[in-house]
A and B are shown apart, each in its own frame.
Chain A
Amino acid sequence: MNQVEETLRQEVAKLLEDGTIDVFVGHEAASLPLRTSPCFVRSPKEVDRLVWNRICTSNLATYLPQLFKRPVGLKAEWTPPKVGVVAKGCDSRSIVGLIKEKQIPRDRLFIIGVGCEGMIDRHSVGRALGVVGLADAKVDGNSVQVIGTDGEEKRIDIADVLAASCRECQHREAVLSNLTVGEAPSSAPEVSHYANVGEFETKSSQERWEHWVGELSRCIRCYACRQACPNCYCEECFAEETAPKWLGVTTDLSDVFVFHLGRAFHQAGRCVDCGACVAACPQGIDLRLLNQKINKDVEELFEAQASLSLEEAQALSSFRMEDDQSFMTEP
């Protein structure tokens, strides 16, 4: 156990004991190596379930809106709970976004911010193993010791299997919190946060088309990306509407393109590049590239990044007279 984890557990125990919060949303170890699972701690006795390490990939903000919804069929009096949550930089930005979009109340939220040096992407580890499965893994300092199902051991630098969104992350501390645990992250990001987009933009039109056909033809319409995303909280997604019916349910390229492009546009100015969509996808599709391109456009057009502070409105929910209008065409 590390210092941050220990402090986190102590703080959460205190918060639960003195009634500051009713439930704490954190990460706990999952059964498979290099996996964590969200956990909901409601008693100080359970705080030992909480972990903090290099595999706390999930964006826990996704789990917050449901906690503030009145339980279905409940006839008795109900007040929304006071909810605590542990947040990395990206998680905290998602929380800011949800507060601004009125999905969660700021005054019933206790955010414990933690500095983050980036999380391990298990898909990258999987790729390093090739066809061999992952039998066990142990994070040790800046590397991870993996044992394949063939018995072979390998030591991999965490830097080599860092999630892509973490590699380009510009916000390694929580932007909003009630309490901070641990030290500020030491390393500065080595690459620009639109490095992947810049590189892609050098490709020809044909190359780009082929890339997206290759990526999106893998989609099986499981909606893991959407469900893992904190911004996707709509009770009826545009992809599920029947009147009007915007797209079909198949894995035809036209349907898949409309879904992913539609969802990416719905994220414009809101996506915080947490990488939850990429981590969730069972087919390992690089959705990030699409979202980052739109984020880049929004930043260039409106000088805005998503959800950095409660005070600023999201770029596409507000209008300023000086906004770029170069994209308007003459009628």
Chain B
Amino acid sequence: MVNMDQTTNPYMPYPVRIDQITIENEARDLKTFKVTFLDPEHEKAFKHIPGQFAELSMFGKGESPIGIASSPTEEGFLLFTVKKTGVVTGELHNLTEGRVIGVRGPLGKSYPIDRMKGKNVVIVGGGFAFTTLRALTKYMIDGGNRDDFGEITVIYGARSPGELLYKKELKEWEARDDLKTYITVDKGDENWKGREGFVPTVLEEVAPSSKDALLAVCGPPIMIKFTLPVIKKLGFSPSDTILSLEMRMKCGIGKCGRCNIGSKYVCKDGPVFTLEELDVLPNEY
């Protein structure tokens, strides 16, 4: 028999089946995998909070740390949006629906949901880093959760319309009146009727109030670089500015020593950090 209990062996993945693969972009190197647990006990044990990640296991190739794109309110499955980058993600992209892969997790610290309750929440995302922000947004607007949070503002941009993730969801969100959604692209195409502009620019235009608000931002390093000054200008304090970092990882549980920034491990003390926490860490990420 196979012992898959991660409480006794945190290195063992749970087997999950790929139920659906959605190609998210024109370049076809971004896919969302909808997976379900083979064992309902594993599903019960895997209760995640938005912001957390899991190590996706491709036997024979290795593991890849991927943010969980689905909210725990979406029961019965998990969503992972993965960019094809190397050996492991390359293998994942070759798989078809019905195939089984491994999932180890949930790992890492989540977005500070408890601190966000009763507050306004601003979500700023760029490119394919939007994955865990989708989980956060869905969590806040789903079911009975909406009343726990104040105003929700979502600003999300990609290089081009084809690069936007979760196009169906974005349309649904734009139609809702209980959240403000601003979708933008760096450069539109002939069919694009929406906004054009870089994410930091749009953030500055929308200028959500920083009063009683927390802001979560996720994106490629270049976007973060230009967005942080805007966030500061809008008056969000470092402790109310929340980021999610990436690092090369292996064990995901703070033992292999690889993903640290100073004394903090991105796998276990992160990947979610406030700007205040990052400011005291060495500039090595």
* A residues lining the B interface (CB < 8 Å): 242-243
Contact = CB atoms under 8 A, between A and B. Distances in A.
5 contacts: A242-B86, A242-B87, A243-B86, A243-B87, A243-B90
Contacts of B87: 242-243
A242 B87 CA distance: 7
B83 to A, nearest CB: 16
Main secondary structure on B side of the interface with A: helix
A236 to B, nearest CB: 13
Interface of B: 86-87, 90
Main secondary structure on A side of the interface with B: loop
Nearest to B88: A242
A242 B86 CA distance: 9
A242 B91 CA distance: 13
B8 to A, nearest CB: 25
Contacts of B86: 242-243
A242 B60 CA distance: 12
Contacts of B90: 243
A243 B86 CA distance: 9
B221 to A, nearest CB: 13
Contacts of A243: 86-87, 90
A250 to B, nearest CB: 15
Q: Top 4 A-B pairs ranked by shortest CB distance?
A: A242-B87, A243-B87, A242-B86, A243-B86
B57 to A, nearest CB: 16
B84 to A, nearest CB: 13
Contacts of A242: 86-87
A75 to B, nearest CB: 15
A243 B60 CA distance: 12
A72 to B, nearest CB: 13
A143 to B, nearest CB: 46
A242 B90 CA distance: 12
A242 B62 CA distance: 10
B182 to A, nearest CB: 34
A243 B90 CA distance: 11
Nearest to A245: B87
A118 to B, nearest CB: 41
Nearest to A242: B87
B285 to A, nearest CB: 14
A121 B86 CA distance: 44
A242 B85 CA distance: 13
A318 B87 CA distance: 35
